[in-house]
Structures are given as structure tokens and as C-alpha cells.
């Protein structure tokens, strides 16, 4: 089979210009090649804005390349940014995006497959849907051809050639020069370990995100021989002849495939892939409890003629518990409980001046400047480039909105939820509304009661941030099965593999 590697400089987000180039390439290969391999996201380039350039399966990219395949009697393989409109059971509609591979036969028949492993370091892991565990193997001219896309190359188990299931592995990519040594090593390794030809086609040039690509498109034999390689940083079409009989002879002469382990891929961590990260606010992102502790000390000073601090604490906690179903959480609810406690403890003998002092305690808390924990802003800035983020916090709506605005963190969150209580049904309702399954949700917070236990109960994931000043009503025993515990929020980046 004659295979042509199209190492090209993709014009950023300009499908007509790129497709014109591919049509000319296909025409020049008529009668000279059987298969034209284009790079990943060949119409626009990797990292293009999906909402701006995505196309349907019958859009410009596929219709143009299908016509080119039919006119020039050759197959064409590559990937493009695809979109699908879906309607959920609740009647709500949305558009989903995919890094979608295609194999177009010379008669126009087209096989589609979606990239399995989404590149979490870029926008792909945040904006796109992952493909199936099932491998895409197409039959063409007596060859079984396995199709993968870029980052998929890094996962040898998923690429494993089971019982000689394929003869040729094709990987289409936008693989930057800064990681090109890994590309070279892994492409050769996939050929050798699977006793199959391995073809990798990469782009050249600079993309719209200032990444440089040098190409390194190549084909390796089943024994790791480099059969051909495009010149670095040069746009060219390299055509090679692959010998199926030679491959079969190599497999018969050295039948290592017969000793391969039989296994089944269940998905592993991919089935628990995080699609949304939630954050608590108070005492997770910024200081909060310390101001309540100071307020109680100020109240104790005012009420010292009537009660000692320890007994005052017990009385205050009891009154808060009574009022919580009526007032909820937050500074204003707390201030009302302070005033009621003062009236009860003093048997209504407290002066108007002292009552005003207690009111001022609450007002001072509301005016308190927001103080972020170390590294919070930098951590959220990095995380927001890889995952959608949601803030889920309890408290008075006006006060929480004020703190969020003054914190400077609001731009990093895709969704804001200020709730009266955090319980399993509340979390499930939020996730259902956002079309996220619990197993794909990670919650980060300082409270076992509100941020950890209810999240684990619905089958989601949780990370606990240590806090020595947990509020009385948030204290619970540590659950046995929480995901992880961190001292400071920046540790979250290491857990998620983000630099």
C-alpha cells in the first residue's frame, strides 16, 4: 500500500485555506498513492476555539475531503473539530464538541471516531467530549488499520495490538517541538511492541497559541526501522510503500504476539475523569472563622458583668442552633443570635449603648476586607485553564456575593451557587442542572459535614483542606473514604498533575 504523509503548516482557524491545500495535495497524488494522512484538527489547528470553528459531520471539512477522495481515488484520514446538538431527558439542549477522527474511503464512505484521551494541559480536556474505549480499526485494501489521535499515543495499553488485530497504526497529531523527543520514542515503541507499522503525521509552523511545531512525521516498521521521515520544519508530502507480506513474514519469524497477555480495559481513571471542580468559599479560599471567633470575644467582653466566656459560648451555640432553621448562615444571622444571647444573659438589663456595640460587631464583620489564603488566586488561575470551576458556598447571599466580588476570584468560576444548606440532594440537583455525573465531580473544601461527606455519599470525589478553626456546627468525624487531604490549596495542582 502506498501511504502519503502530509506534513503541513496549518493556517490558524482558516478552514477554507487549509482545505484548498489538501485538495491540491490529493489531486497531485492521483494514481500515485492509496492513502493520504493529514494532521490532527487539520482544518483549523489544535487549540482553536471550538464554539467558533466546529463543524457538523456533513460540514465543509468532511464534504470537501470526501469529494477529494472520490475524485482522486484515494483514502484520506485526519481529524477535525466536530460538534453535535443533543437534547437531554429534562428537555434541555446543548452543543457538544469532539476532536473527531475520520477515515474517508475512495468511494466516499466515511468512518468517524473520537479522540479517547483528551489533553488536559490544554483546552481540550475542558471543552471536548472523550471518545469510546473501543478501538477504531478500519479495513482497507486487505490492511487492518488502527486509528488514534495525538495524545492517545502516550497510552500503550489502549494502543495494544491484541491478537494481530491491526497491521498499521496511524497517529495524526499537533505535537509541539518542545515534546518531540517523546513523540519519536513512542512512535517507534508502538511499532515494535505491537509488531505493526506505525505512521505518525504531525504539523509544522506556529499556531495561534504561540506553540511551535517542527513535524517529525515518520513511519516505522514492525521491528523499529525508520522507513521514512519528513524534513523538520518543512512542508512536504512523503509517499512510502508499505509491504503487508513483509509484515506477515516478520510476525511468523518472530511470533512474540502469541505470548502477549490477554487483558480487558475497564477505563480505570478515565471513568472517574474530572469534568467539574467545586470549591467551598469560607475558610477554604479566604479567612472566615477567625472573624467569628473575634466577634465572640468582643461579645464576652461586653457581657463579662453577667457571664464568663465558657458559659457564654455554650449559650451562644444553643441559640444559634435554635435560630439556624429561621435565619440560616452568615454574618447577619450570627449578629441576630449575638443580640438575642446578650438580651437573655443580661435578663434584658443591657443598655442601649451596649446593644449598639453588639450591632457594630456584626457591621464590622460585614465590612471586613477579604483575606485570601496563600496561593489561592494563582491556583484557581491555573486550574481554570484546565477545568470548569464552580463555587458552592453557604451563607447570606448579599454577604457572599460581596466577598466574592471583593476577592477578585469571580472570573475564575464558570458557575456560582449560594445555597442554604449543603446536603446530598443539593449537590445532585446542581450537578444534574449542569449535566455532570457525580463520578466526574470533585469538591474541595474544609468541612467534613458540608464539603466531604455529602459529596462522597452521591459517588463524587472530594479533597479536604485542613482547617483548625472549623465552626462548631461543621465539625464531624473524618470519613474513612475521602479522596485526599491537603494542607494548602496549591497542593491541588500537584494532585491533578498541573504545573
Q: Is 95 exposed, middle or buried (0-12, 13-18, 19+ CB in 10 A)?
A: exposed
Checking if the pLDDT of 60 tops 80, the result is yes
Instruction: Answer whether 363's CB lies under 8 Å from 332's CB.
Output: no
Cβ neighbours for 141, distance < 8 A, ≥ 6 positions apart: 1, 34
Give the angle 321-322-327 at the CA atoms, nearest 5°. Answer: 90
For residues 271 and 221, what is the distance between their CA atoms, to the nearest angstrom?
33
Active site residue: 42, 136, 150, 171, which one?
Answer: 150
Indicate if 141 belongs to the active site: no
Same domain, 28 and 142: yes
Indicate if 49 belongs to the active site: no
Residue holding cell 520544519?
A: 233
Checking if the pLDDT of 181 tops 70, the result is yes
For residues 280 and 285, what is the distance between their CA atoms, to the nearest angstrom?
7
- 334 or 162: which leads in pLDDT: 162
For residues 124 and 237, what is the distance between their CA atoms, to the nearest angstrom?
28
Q: Is 104 helix (H, G, I), strand (E, B) or coil?
A: strand
Indicate if 150 belongs to the active site: yes
Same domain, 60 and 152: yes
Count of domains observed in the chain: 3
Which of 302, 335, 366 corresponds to the end of one domain? 366
The shares of helix, strand and coil residues in the chain, as percent rounded to the nearest 5, are 40, 25, 35
Same domain, 159 and 204: yes
- Domain CATH code at residue 345: 1.10.150.240
pLDDT digits (tens, 9 = 90+) for 72-125: 999 999 999 999 998 877 788 899 999 999 999 999 999 999 999 998 766 687
Active site residue: 13, 21, 40, 403, which one?
Answer: 40
- 494 or 246: which leads in pLDDT: 246
Same domain, 298 and 230: no
Same domain, 26 and 174: yes
- 219 or 297: which leads in pLDDT: 219
Active site residue: 21, 42, 115, 124, which one?
Answer: 115
What is the phi/psi pair of residue 497, to 5°?
70, 30
Checking if the pLDDT of 360 tops 70, the result is yes
C-alpha cell of 485?
487531604
Q: Using alpha carbons, list the distances in angstroms from residue 138 to 112, 165, 166, 262, 354.
A: 10, 10, 9, 22, 82
Same domain, 410 and 283: yes
Same domain, 164 and 246: yes
With CA atoms as reference, report the closest residue to 76 among 105, 109, 39. Answer: 105
pTM over 0.85: no
Which of 333, 366, 399 corresponds to the end of one domain? 366
CA atoms within 13 A on the CB side of 350: 27
- Among 128-132, 263-267, 276-280, name the most confident range: 276-280
Domain residue limits at 354: 289-366
Same domain, 239 and 303: no
What percent of the chain is modeled with pLDDT above 70? Answer: 94
pLDDT digits (tens, 9 = 90+) for 115-173: 999 987 666 877 899 888 889 999 999 999 999 999 999 999 999 998 899 999 999 99
- 71 or 258: which leads in pLDDT: 71
Same domain, 215 and 103: yes
Amino acid at each position: 500500500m502506498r501511504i502519503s504523509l502530509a506534513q503541513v503548516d496549518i493556517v490558524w482557524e482558516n478552514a477554507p485555506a487549509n482545505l484548498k491545500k489538501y485538495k491540491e495535495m490529493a489531486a497531485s497524488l492521483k494514481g500515485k498513492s492509496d492513502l493520504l494522512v493529514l494532521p490532527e484538527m487539520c482544518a483549523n489547528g489544535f487549540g482553536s476555539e471550538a464554539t467558533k470553528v466546529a463543524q457538523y459531520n456533513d460540514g465543509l471539512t468532511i464534504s470537501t475531503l470526501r469529494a477529494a477522495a472520490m475524485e482522486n481515488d484515494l483514502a484520506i484520514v485526519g481529524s477535525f473539530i466536530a460538534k453535535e446538538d443533543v437534547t437531554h431527558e429534562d428537555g434541555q439542549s446543548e452543543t457538544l464538541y469532539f476532536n473527531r477522527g475520520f477515515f474517508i474511503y475512495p468511494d466516499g464512505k466515511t468512518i468517524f471516531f473520537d479522540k479517547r484521551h483528551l489533553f488536559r494541559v490544554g483546552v481540550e480536556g475542558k471543552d471536548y467530549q472523550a471518545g469510546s474505549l473501543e478501538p477504531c480499526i478500519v479495513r482497507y485494501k486487505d490492511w487492518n488499520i488502527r486509528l488514534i489521535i495525538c495524545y492517545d499515543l502516550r497510552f500503550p495499553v489502549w494502543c495494544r495490538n491484541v491478537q494481530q488485530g491491526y497491521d498499521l497504526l496511524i497517529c495524526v497529531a499537533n505535537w509541539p517541538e518542545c515534546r518531540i523527543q517523546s513523540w519519536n520514542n513512542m512512535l517507534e515503541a508502538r511499532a515494535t511492541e505491537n509488531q505493526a507499522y506505525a505512521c505518525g503525521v504531525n504539523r509544522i509552523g506556529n499556531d495561534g497559541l504561540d506553540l511551535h511545531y517542527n513535524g517529525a512525521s515518520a513511519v516505522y516498521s514492525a521491528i523499529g526501522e525508520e522507513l521514512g521521515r519528513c524534513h523538520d520544519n518543512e512542508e512536504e508530502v512523503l509517499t512510502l510503500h508499505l509491504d503487508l507480506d513483509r509484515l506477515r513474514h516478520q510476525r511468523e519469524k518472530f511470533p512474540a504476539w502469541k505470548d502477549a497477555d490477554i487483558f480487558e480495559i475497564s477505563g480505570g481513571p478515565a471513568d472517574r475523569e474530572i469534568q467539574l471542580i467545586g470549591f467551598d468559599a469560607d475558610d477554604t479560599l479566604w479567612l472566615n472563622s477567625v472573624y467569628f471567633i473575634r466577634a465572640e470575644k468582643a461579645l464576652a467582653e461586653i457581657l463579662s458583668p453577667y457571664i464568663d466566656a465558657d458559659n457564654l459560648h455554650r449559650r451562644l451555640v444553643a441559640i444559634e442552633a435554635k435560630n439556624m432553621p429561621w435565619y440560616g448562615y452568615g454574618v447577619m444571622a450570627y449578629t441576630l443570635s449575638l443580640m438575642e444571647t446578650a438580651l437573655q444573659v443580661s435578663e434584658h438589663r443591657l443598655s442601649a449603648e451596649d446593644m449598639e456595640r453588639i450591632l457594630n460587631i456584626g457591621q464590622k464583620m460585614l465590612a471586613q476586607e477579604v483575606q485570601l489564603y496563600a496561593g489561592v488566586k494563582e491556583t484557581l488561575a491555573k486550574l481554570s485553564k484546565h477545568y470548569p470551576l464552580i463555587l458552592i458556598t453557604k451563607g447570606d447571599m448579599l454577604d457572599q456575593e460581596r466577598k466574592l466580588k471583593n476577592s477578585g476570584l469571580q472570573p475564575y468560576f464558570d458557575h456560582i451557587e449560594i445555597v442554604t444548606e449543603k446536603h446530598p440532594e443539593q449537590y445532585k440537583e446542581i450537578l444534574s442542572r449542569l449535566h455532570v455525573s457525580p463520578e466526574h465531580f470533585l469538591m474541595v473544601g474544609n468541612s467534613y459535614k458540608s464539603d466531604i461527606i455529602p459529596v462522597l455519599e452521591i459517588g463524587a470525589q472530594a479533597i479536604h483542606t485542613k482547617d483548625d478553626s472549623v465552626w462548631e456546627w461543621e465539625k464531624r468525624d473524618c470519613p474513612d473514604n475521602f479522596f485526599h487531604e491537603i494542607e494548602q490549596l496549591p497542593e491541588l495542582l500537584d494532585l491533578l498533575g498541573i504545573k
